Amino acid sequence: MLKNYFKIAWRNLLKSKGFSFINLTGLSIGISACILISVYIIHETSYDKFVPDSTNIYRLVRQFNFGKETLKSIHFSANTARTIESDFGEIEQAGRIMDNDLFYGAGTNELQIDDEVMQHHEAGFAYADQAILDIFSIPMIFGDAKTALEEPKTIVISQAVSQKYFKDENPIGRVVYLNGNRDDPHRITAVMRDFPTNSHMDYQYFLTMKGVEFDEGEQDRWIQSNYFTYVRLRPDTDVSLFDQTFGASIIKKYLKPALAAGGYAMAEEIEDKASIYLQPMTDIQLYSADIGYESGFRNDIKIIWIFGTVALFILLLATINFVNLSTARSANRAKEVGLRKVVGSGRSNLVIQFLTESLVLTLMAFVLGVVLAQTFLPVFQKMTGIELSMPWGNQLFIPVLLLAALVVGGLAGFYPALYLSGFSPINVLKGKLRLGGKSSGFRSGLVVFQFTISIILIIGTLIINEQMSFILNSKVGFEKDQVIQLYGTNMLGEKDVIFKEELSKMQEVESVSISDYLPLENTKRNGNSFTKEGGENIDEDISGQVWQIDEDYLETLGIELIAGRNFDATIASDRDATIVNEQMVAELGLTDPIGKKVSRSGHLNEIIGVVKNFRYDNMKQRVMPLALFYEKSNTIISVKVNTADMPGLLKTIEKKWDEFAPNLSFRYAFMDDSFAQMYDNVYRIKTIFTSFAVLAIFVACMGLFALSAFMVEQRNKEMSIRKVLGASIQGIYRLQTQNFVYLVLISLLFAIPIAYYSMENWLKDYEYKIEISWQIFLVSGAVAISIALLTVSYHAFKSALINPVNNLKGE
């Protein structure tokens, strides 16, 4: 019997090639999209779970509430780790990582190996305690993980770095030098296995913390925060209870007295306005979007939900196609059902038959979907920027696919099976049954659902594209075009000023500035607190940035000076002066700022100028107060140029560079490219969302195309009679299409509020964003109606143009 079910199912699928093709194509596209997005989601949700004992590892986060604003940070003082390990028995081990490139050795460096003359640019340097190797159980290729960072002047390198410079040789005992400093050797003590792609850390070098102090007293100072602090809790710890008490204890016992001793007014309110909590290590990748100055790229759980929803929508659209087409083509199966019942088939037998057809089609679609997913995986990898792979090694992968195929096949075939098996044989064989009409209301509801989803995706795509255009084309307060950034210029030493002068002499060069504090991500940042003069110990401090620039910085980047003057190399007092932005003036409440003084960590600095606000972080963050100081920070030189021959100018600059640094490679970037890279991940999200939105709409259109064919076929005789009675082609076309237009309009009413709420929620992450205008909804509705009309027009015109004799000659 079972064999017979499959045989008949296969014959029916071959007999209805158009129906089978559309359902197979739609389902396979939906399944492949689901698989690809599932692979992406599995990767993103698997972060750090490979670490042994990962459920007991946490990162410290602190939160400050300033009025309506909440600021989160993961930077703590140097002594936090050892203090909490000593004070709290629940903490088994605590360790620190410091990758702030404000401090020598962290971030990027020029690397020399042993006695080599050539220097190599390398990134991914961080200082770490030995405890970090223990907490994360970092596996080693060479060396002992238990002692690798126990001694001063030691360094652990990654497997990739070891392979790059030492091939398969054991590098233990080899010596490296940073930034040409031959007086500061670091001995390689271990080679760690490369961090996998689903690790929130991607360091290539760990420098030991042993014996390191970045300035006098820094290791014991509570109010200087530059370290990430990780802890491993004992397995029997009640984490929720511990999390409620330990942070308040640190603030009350250590942080509040330290602030009070430093004369900070916020000491009185710190217990009410600040908190410290534990963030599970496995949450870092997806739940850190609201943490400022996070190390590396962090995804957002919202994106995971959006992509997962889109994948589900695509599969739902394909399933709805199956249901709609199965019920619409009931005319083709009615007599078959009637005859089967007459010769003794029960309803249950018919239900099993129709479900078998659904399952066979679904299984075929799943096989094709897996093939499509594997084929397009490299394309999807480029879209995400992540190295992904199909989980063939997972023992659950194939069983889950089979189970999913059974569930989808069952859901897709359940209603059509009940509907078709319920026909009365007497009415069918007498021709009294209005075939396909009984379920028209249900089908219309499914079409409305399909177009609601499609319109939501169209609106989302339009808003995401408009926001991206706004980001890249809006005024940011500085000139990023035709500005070249030269890297590694700190290696020039005192010759950097001479090199700057040589560049300035070039005809195509307009201005040159020495500073690595730039309005771009991954350049230097230095947070500090400020009050106005006289407000020390009285006013609440405001949080802001401290940048070091030279006298040509404003001109090179085209930053507008709206009050006062620029720095002047001939005025010695400018070394103690500052130029601030409008936000600093506003938050300090200064009405006439020129000549006034700001207090920064007990130092008073006179304001000699005010610059117009410029955006120095991405648009998800508001412009913070900023104080510019006349000091040298020289790992980057920015060159403003005016030339049509950029390759020729770059060759000239490189030639000059080789004269000054013959053992150092010439590295550069264009500021507009660096600015665009700040939004690479938003670009990727836009590309992925748009691509899958187009797929979803395509699947919906396939179903609508086939559904319109069946609907038109059912009304062929009606339309022929209308033509005989004088109906025009336009009138018949309108009759065949107006119902679909009404359904789209109903869909629009459902889609607009859902899309508006969803996209408003997405835009909340951006401090600077577009306003969602009614034009977007108007365009989306017009696009949806156009898509619907284009999809059904072929069959509508075919029906209008057919000779009525062909349909009525048998009557």
What token pair was written down for 369? 């979907």
Q: Note the pTM of the prediction, 2 decimals.
A: 0.83
Instruction: Report how far apart, in Å, the C-alpha atoms of 309 and of each of 71, 316, 612, 693 are.
Output: 30, 10, 42, 11
Type of residue numbered 511:
S
Give CA–CA dist 103/90, Å, rounded.
Answer: 32
Return d(Cα 133, Cα 147) in angstroms, integer. Answer: 9
Secondary structure element (H or E) that encloses residue 66, with its range: strand 57-66
Segment 9-61, tens digit of pLDDT: 556 665 666 667 777 888 888 889 889 998 999 899 999 999 999 999 999 99
Which of 444-448, 570-574, 734-738, 758-762 is predicted least confidently? 734-738
Which tokens belong to 614? 């410029």
Beta-ladder partners of 190: 143, 156
Residues of the chain with pLDDT > 70, as a percent, come to 86
Average of per-residue pLDDT across 248-255: 93
Other CB atoms closer than 10 Å to residue 476's CB: what's the count? 18
Tens digit of each residue's pLDDT (9 = 90 or more) over 555-581: 999 999 999 999 999 999 999 999 999
In whole angstroms, how far apart are CA 129 and each of 207, 279, 707, 774, 808?
8, 20, 66, 55, 89
Least Cα distance to 710 among 372, 454, 443, 369 occurs for 443
Nearest alpha carbon to residue 458 among 715, 193, 788, 807: 788
| C-alpha separations of 35 from 303, 307, 700 in Å | 17, 12, 19
Question: Are the C-beta atoms of residues 425 and 338 closer than 8 Å to each other?
Answer: yes
pLDDT tops 80 at residue 462: yes
Q: What is the reported pLDDT for 800?
A: 67
Written as one letter, the residue type at 346 is G
pLDDT digits (tens, 9 = 90+) for 390-445: 888 777 788 888 888 888 777 776 766 666 556 566 555 555 555 444 456 777 78
Question: How many Cβ atoms from other residues are within 10 Å of residue 811's Cβ?
Answer: 7
Is residue 337 very low, low, confident or very high in pLDDT (cuts 50, 70, 90)?
Answer: low
Distance set, CA 470 to CA 429, 460, 475, 564 (Å): 64, 15, 9, 31
Dihedral sign (CA 224, 227, 228, 234): negative
| Nearest to 43, CA basis, from 401, 281, 391 | 391
Q: Which amino acid is at 710?
A: F
Q: CB neighbours (10 Å) of residue 122?
A: 18
Most confident of 270-274, 305-309, 340-344, 558-562: 558-562
Residue 601 CB neighbour total at 10 angstroms: 14
641-696 residue pLDDT tens:
999 999 999 999 999 999 999 888 899 999 998 888 888 877 888 888 888 888 88
CA distance 505 to 652: 12
**Pairing relationship of beta strands 120-128 and 205-208 according to DSSP bridges:** parallel
Asked if pLDDT for residue 802 goes beyond 90, the answer is no
Contact 594, 563 (CB under 8 A): yes
Dihedral class, residue 310 (left if φ above 0, else alpha if ψ from -120 to 50, else beta): alpha
Residues in CB range of 408: below 8 A, 6 or more apart: 27, 31, 315, 319, 362, 366
Mean pLDDT of 751-757: 92
